Amino acid sequence: MLKSIVMVTILVTNLGETEQAYSDYLDYDVVSRGKVSSVLAENWQTPSLEGQHCILMQPESDENVFLRFVQDPQKRRAIPMQRTGWNATEILVEDPDALAEIFKNDPNSPFKIIGGPDYLTPKENVKAMQVFGPSGEMVYLTNIIDPSKSSFDLGRATSFVDRVFIMVLGTQDVDETKSWYESNLGEKVLGPYDYKISVLSKTYGLPEETIYPLSMIQLPSQFMLEIDQYPPEAIDLKTMEQQLPPGVLMVTFLTDEIDHLASIATDPADRVKLSPYNKRETLVVRGNSGELIELIESE
């Protein structure tokens, strides 16, 4: 049912600093400014966000995959990998080594390297770096060297820093979450596979060789979701539903099946005039791990 990633919504501590960071270092451009409307705040079940300032940013490639940054009224830093739900935004880049040099050589860089750049497999076809952004949000910056040699359909960057192509979801039970996506969203979920996730092991003080089960969902249009099994110490986002999770709040997808999903939505569908909704129906579903999934009907 999910066709493509349209937008990732991230709560930030300082909207101006975030805009400057993503513009100066990642070449993202602001395409709209505004405030969270009452309709959106109601759909997201986040009444405290109504009226908060927000910006929509687009990569230099002009791909219609956006980052939406919203001012967090509590100005909290993200706590990636310490709770379930959406935890990391993975972006295609042309040269993670060159980006790493920019970050390392600038003492004022708002992006702090926490891993890599490293090849992710012995094939040496995917090279990635993990960073914390200006509000503590986790961003993976990844180069697919030869898409034809990849096991998945992921494409490659067409600008120095390009679009979001993978979102990482943390869960306390990868099999249960796999079942939820299959039964509720009709997705084919691959795996789970055993995998080493060094940044996750570092977060919990576990040996680097620790193995985690993860599953993958291949979406059309060269997008993917990664579902990672987190250690039992991870906070269950479902217990935080009365709070706003700092960091990635929500991921927005296009779908052809919005009417079929109304039964599991938080509220009835609405039409929103603003870009990228463009007067199309939209609704929000809460996933198995507490994650917010915003859906927009395809044109």
Mean per-residue pLDDT over the chain, rounded: 95
Q: Domains of the chain by range and CATH? A: 2-297 (3.10.180.10)
pLDDT at 133 over 90: yes
Mean pLDDT of 88-97: 98
pLDDT at 109: 98
pLDDT at 98 over 70: yes
Quick one: three-class SS letters along the chain? Answer: CEEEEEEEEEEECCHHHHHHHHHHHHCCEEEEEEECCHHHHHHCCCHHHCCCEEEEEECCCCCCCEEEEEECCCCCCCCCCCECEEEEEEEEECCHHHHHHHHHHCCCCCCEEEEEEEECCCCCCEEEEEEECCCCCEEEEEEECCHHHCCCCCCCCCCCEEEEEEEEEEECCHHHHHHHHHHHHCCCEEEEEEEECHHHHHHHCCCCCCEEEEEEEEECCCEEEEEEECCCCCECHHHHCCCCCCEEEEEEEEECCCHHHHHHECCCCEECCCCCCCCCEEEEEECCCCCEEEEEECC
Q: What is the pLDDT of residues 34-84, one digit of tens each?
A: 999 999 999 998 999 999 999 999 999 999 999 999 999 999 999 889 999
Q: What is the pLDDT of residues 207-262, one digit of tens each?
A: 999 999 999 999 988 999 999 999 999 999 988 766 788 999 999 999 998 988 98
pLDDT at 1 over 90: no
230 contacts 200 by C-beta, under 8 angstroms: yes
